[in-house]
Chains A and B, each alone.
Chain A
Amino acid sequence: MSKRTIIPFGPQHPVLPEPIQLRLVMEEERVVEALPAIGYIHRGLEKLVEKKDFNQCVFLAERVCGICSFLHSVTYSQGIEEMMSVAVPDRAKFLRLIWGEIHRVHSHLLWLGLLADSFGFENVFMHAWRCREKVLDLMEKTAGHRVMLGTCCVGGVRRDITDEGLAEVLRVVDELQKEFDEFVPVVLNDYSIKQRTIGVGKLTKEQAAELGAVGPVARASGIARDFRETGYAAYGQVGFKIVTATSGDCYARIQVRCGEMYECLEMIRRAVKALPAGAINVAVKGNPSGEVVSRVEQPRGEVVYYLKGNGTKNLERMRIRTPTFANLAPLLAMLPGCELADVPVIVLSIDPCISCTER
């Protein structure tokens, strides 16, 4: 047996947008074992819920993550609405879907840029982020903010999208489709990208199921599971196709996310065309009481909110299980056997979001 050494990967590393450390047990250039160490950005957000009004906690939930922020507020709001038996107007459900899918496109483009950066493909990085700027601009035009939209509330949404705004959404969606048609085939067929990702960081279907993988990580291993299938918000009315791949490697995770970006655009188009008229929220009276578990499919996978109310304005408990938290155990199964140079690519392939993992 070769001599084993331990290499700390992170918490500060050029490819890591957020701090996480992986302690890599190496035999020469090959990883034989990995152990994650987090705790650099734990904020105690779950504890803060005990001090805030349950309506204020929508903003708190939105700040759990700086990338899929809107979807956190939707998950939280849906949970409180279920607890308080609030019927959300259809238009609000459609608007949640539209902003949610816009968020998914922005998140996947951000990830694609970071992944390309991890193996030095700067052109893809710049192109993906240039496209993402259009998505952020669209969010600003429709919601007034580029990332933290602040539009979701318990009982619906705070802000409507005007007819001009909807026309702008469709225009930007068409523009993005053209951009994707130009550069997604390049990403999927490029020789160097294939060399760096095919067969790298493999996670079999059995491992993904065993270790509780979620989102694109699970779907890239052949598990056709996507919580949008349950039809929450307006997904039941708009329709939705699950994108999967089977090889379970880094390339498959690129395939799934690229396919999902196209699917997002289609869903946004259908939702804009089918957007019903009417109110965008309802008044919510009283305080939440009881327990619920609310789940939503975020860009990285299923997010879980456990909420417990005690009849006062303050919740007794809010517990958040983010998709990256669920994908840490699968990440540990992807790394053994890979070379040290592949570690950044494999880590980025799960699209890690550490600030929401630590909360």
Chain B
Amino acid sequence: MLNNELPVTRDTLLNEVAARRHQGYRFVTVTCVDLGDRFDIVYHFDKDYVLHNLRLSLGRTEELPSISPIFFAAVLVENELKDLFGIPVTDLAIDYGGRFLLSEGSPVAPQRKPDATPAQPAQPTDGAVK
């Protein structure tokens, strides 16, 4: 467990993120850890050199709501989560369609541990961004 950590759910995530924005926090990044049976998604925010973290426990088939409508800077790392872990992220401000870090022919969700419900391959987008 990290210091200054608050557990959130998919229902409370966006409100908590909006509250951080309102309080003047800077978006730092998002970390995803594959625990085998679920994902730990940790959102890191900074204010005055102190990190504040929101931890979301996500089921392996659940969708993750994007925080990019609140912090636009999150859009790239959320596309990375989609690429590397095969997590479906909804309402992305810019959706690269699973082709942000990976290209056609790349392994599907290479950082995702094997499970009973493998990630769906990204739809071919011939390089175009939706």
Q: Please give the residue numbers on chain A whose beta carbons come within 8 Å of chain B beta carbons, in ascending order.
A: 23, 35-39, 42, 44, 46-47, 209-212, 225, 227, 229-230, 291-293, 295, 302, 304, 306, 308, 316-317, 319, 321, 325-326, 328-329, 358
Contacts and interface: CB of A to CB of B under 8 A. Distances in A.
Interface string B38-55: 000010100001010100
B34 to A, nearest CB: 8
Contacts of B29: 304, 306, 319, 321, 325-326
A292 B44 CA distance: 12
B49 A229 contact: yes
A35 B96 CA distance: 10
Given A212-B71, A328-B76, A329-B76, A39 B28 contact: no
Given A39-B101, A212-B27, A317 B72 contact: no
Query: Nearest 8 CB-CB pairs, A to B?
Result: A321-B29, A212-B73, A329-B73, A306-B31, A319-B31, A42-B101, A39-B101, A317-B33
B82 interface: no
A46 B111 contact: yes
B99 interface: yes
B129 A35 contact: yes
B81 to A, nearest CB: 11
Contacts of A210: 72-73
Contact of B100 (A23, A38, A211): A38
Contacts of A23: 129
Instruction: Report which residue of B1, B27, B28 has the largest number of chain A beta carbons within 10 angstroms of its beta carbon.
Output: B28
A130 B97 CA distance: 44
A153 to B, nearest CB: 25
Contact of A212 (B26, B42, B49, B94): B26
B2 A291 contact: yes
A358 B73 CA distance: 16
A44 B110 contact: yes
B33 A308 contact: yes
Contacts of B102: 39, 42
A52 to B, nearest CB: 15
Interface string B86-103: 000000001010011111
Interface residues of B, number: 32
Interface of B: 1-2, 26-29, 31-34, 42, 44, 49, 51, 53, 71-73, 75-77, 94, 96, 99-103, 110-111, 127, 129
A304 B2 CA distance: 14
Contact of A358 (B2, B94, B101, B129): B101
Nearest to A40: B103
Contacts of A295: 51
Contacts of A326: 28-29, 73
Given A35-B129, A304-B28, 6 more contacts: A38-B100, A209-B26, A302-B28, A319-B29, A325-B29, A326-B29
A294 to B, nearest CB: 11
A329 B75 contact: yes
A166 B2 CA distance: 39
Given A46-B111, A47-B110, A212-B27, A325 B77 contact: yes
Contacts of A35: 94, 129
B33 A316 contact: yes
B53 to A, nearest CB: 8
Contacts of B2: 291-293
A46 B103 CA distance: 18
Instruction: Report which residue of A36, A295, A319 has the largest number of chain B beta carbons within 10 angstroms of its beta carbon.
Output: A319
Instruction: Report which residue of A42, A302, A328 has the largest number of chain B beta carbons within 10 angstroms of its beta carbon.
Output: A42
B51 A293 contact: yes
A302 B51 CA distance: 13
B3 to A, nearest CB: 9
Nearest to A230: B49
A46 B80 CA distance: 13
A42 B44 CA distance: 23
Given A38-B100, A316-B33, A212 B1 contact: no
A47 B26 contact: no
A211 B103 CA distance: 27
Nearest to B42: A306
16 contacts: A38-B101, A39-B101, A39-B103, A44-B110, A212-B71, A225-B49, A229-B49, A293-B51, A293-B53, A295-B51, A302-B28, A306-B29, A316-B33, A321-B29, A325-B77, A329-B72
